[in-house]
């Protein structure tokens, strides 16, 4: 197995990154591009031994990194961001080749956000404080102490952006990291290890272990030396991680599946509502916070549907490297089969495909809108994670009731996907546990400590 492969003209190391050096496994897994099914390379397939080695490296590096001043940690994270900027085009083309998302999106939005993740948390670290307060003359001082080695398990739909959404605050907090990227899109995590090392991040502070969660997940999440676990993915996998972490009572942050609604009332700007609804097909529908349930007030449902179909029909689906493409391929044939299964079962149960409803060319799923769906049906209740939306109608009375009872981590009004890293982000109920962003990230990745100091000469212990 070659140690490096070339992807879109960019050399990428296929080995793990553990303790500041490259480590190969005895076995590999095949990484395939969703664009055309071509084999990109054979990637080191981690075992529990590599998982344990990565945790050991993170544990060994933790005391020195935790003791590193805030200013120095922030300086290194800014250097990592600079490295991302310098290699932005390489990161964009590699990730597009690896996961099939639009190249124009990676260039203009996703990779700049990767650099911003590091800069934001580096700067936030320097402002992190809680005003001291008094209790009967005693001073209370709140501090954020680094928690320890953190295992970060990230998904395939926005690999590097979502990885650095976790890596950046964990490192800023003074923790060391073991990053486990998704096996369907592992390549930019390997490039991140190179960028971080070049920026001066000490050996062992960031480790990257590739492979299948079913083979190395438990070795990471049940390890007694792991102090934090952050995971983005499905509810069933989260349940397994939570059960594994329970053996050590390791704190978890879980960002899970979504089935969010887009509510359109009769007084809405209909053109804006349609634009936002069609936007839910972004990244071929492979977005955890996509509003895949369109709930439209009855009096405007017919006109909304007409305008939606007209606009959605103009979307261009094809090669994500083409600037004219709006929707790229599905990440993997297994995911395509899963999406198609959802739609076939829904139509068999009486749903009607207003547009789409079928796969194309074995790699693409046509943008789909289903109507005549029951509230308790699988297609309405379960996350599809593909370009499939459902449309249901709301009566005026029901609309008022729904808005009063929203349970959600984020609510957008007359907009969508407006994100600020200082805001809390996460799901409610089965969509997630915990919040990250701004100070909430540091609350998770740190052990909060309150130090109470008696005034000088104080003797009364009552």
255 counts as catalytic = yes
446 counts as catalytic = no
Q: Which of 50, 90, 95, 255 is catalytic?
A: 255
How big is the chain by its Cα radius of gyration, in Å? 23
CB atoms within 10 A of CB 31: 22
Q: What six digits make up the tokens of 301?
A: 């449902």
Instruction: Give one word for 251, left, alpha or beta, with left for phi > 0 and alpha for psi -120 to 50.
Output: beta
Q: What six digits make up the tokens of 407?
A: 């349970």
**Residue 241 exposure: Cα atoms within 13 Å on the Cβ side:** 30
Strand ordering across the sheet containing 293-297: 261-264, 293-297, 388-394, 368-371, 352-355
Q: Which of 50, 90, 95, 288 is catalytic?
A: 288
Strand ordering across the sheet containing 150-153: 21-23, 16-18, 206-208, 177-180, 150-153, 228-232, 252-255, 432-433
**In whole angstroms, what is the distance from residue 80 CA to residue 311 CA?**
40
Exposed / middle / buried, residue 24 (Cβ in 10 Å: 0-12, 13-18, 19+) = middle
The residues annotated with a catalytic role in the active site are 255, 288
């Amino acid at each position: 197995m070659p140690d490096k492969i070339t992807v879109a003209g960019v050399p990428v190391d296929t080995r793990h990154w553990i303790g500041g050096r490259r480590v190969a496994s005895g076995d590999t897994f095949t990484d395939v591009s969703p664009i055309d099914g071509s084999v990109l390379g054979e990637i080191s397939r981690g075992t529990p031994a590599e998982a344990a080695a990565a945790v050991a490296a993170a544990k060994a590096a933790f005391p020195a990194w935790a003791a590193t001043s805030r200013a120095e940690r922030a300086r290194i994270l800014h250097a990592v961001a600079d490295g991302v900027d310098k290699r932005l085009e390489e990161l964009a083309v590699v990730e597009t080749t690896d996961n099939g998302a639009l190249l124009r999106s990676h260039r203009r939005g996703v990779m700049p956000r990767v650099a911003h993740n590091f800069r934001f948390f580096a700067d936030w670290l320097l402002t992190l404080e809680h005003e001291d307060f008094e209790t009967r003359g005693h001073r209370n001082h709140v501090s954020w102490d680094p928690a320890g080695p953190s295992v970060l398990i990230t998904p395939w739909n926005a690999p590097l952006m979502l990885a650095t959404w976790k890596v950046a605050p964990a490192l800023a907090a003074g923790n060391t990291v073991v990053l486990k990227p998704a096996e369907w899109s592992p390549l930019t995590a390997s490039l991140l290890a190179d960028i971080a090392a070049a920026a001066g991040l000490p050996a062992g502070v960031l480790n990257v272990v590739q492979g299948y969660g079913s083979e190395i997940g438990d070795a990471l999440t049940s390890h007694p030396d792991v102090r934090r676990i952050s995971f983005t993915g499905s509810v069933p996998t989260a349940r397994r991680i939570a059960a594994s972490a329970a053996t050590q009572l390791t704190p978890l942050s879980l960002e899970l599946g979504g089935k969010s609604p887009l509510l359109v009332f009769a007084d809405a700007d209909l053109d804006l509502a349609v634009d936002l609804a069609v936007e839910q097909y972004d990244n071929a529908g492979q977005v955890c916070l996509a509003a895949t349930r369109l709930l439209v007030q009855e009096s405007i449902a017919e006109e909304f549907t007409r305008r939606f179909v007209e606009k959605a029909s103009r979307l261009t689906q094809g090669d994500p490297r083409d600037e004219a493409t709006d929707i790229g391929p599905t990440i993997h044939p297994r995911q395509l089969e899963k999406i198609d299964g959802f739609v076939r079962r829904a139509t068999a149960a009486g749903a009607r495909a207003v547009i789409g409803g079928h796969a194309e060319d074995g790699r693409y799923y046509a943008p789909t809108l289903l109507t005549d769906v029951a509230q308790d049906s699988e297609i309405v209740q379960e996350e599809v994670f593909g370009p499939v939306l459902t449309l249901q109608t709301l009566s005026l009375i029901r609309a008022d009731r729904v808005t009063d009872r929203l349970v959600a981590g984020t609510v957008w009004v007359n907009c969508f996907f407006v994100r600020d890293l200082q805001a809390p982000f996460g799901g409610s109920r089965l969509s997630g546990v915990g919040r990250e962003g701004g100070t909430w990230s540091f609350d998770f990745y740190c052990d909060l400590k309150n130090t109470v100091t008696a005034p000088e000469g104080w003797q009364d212990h009552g």
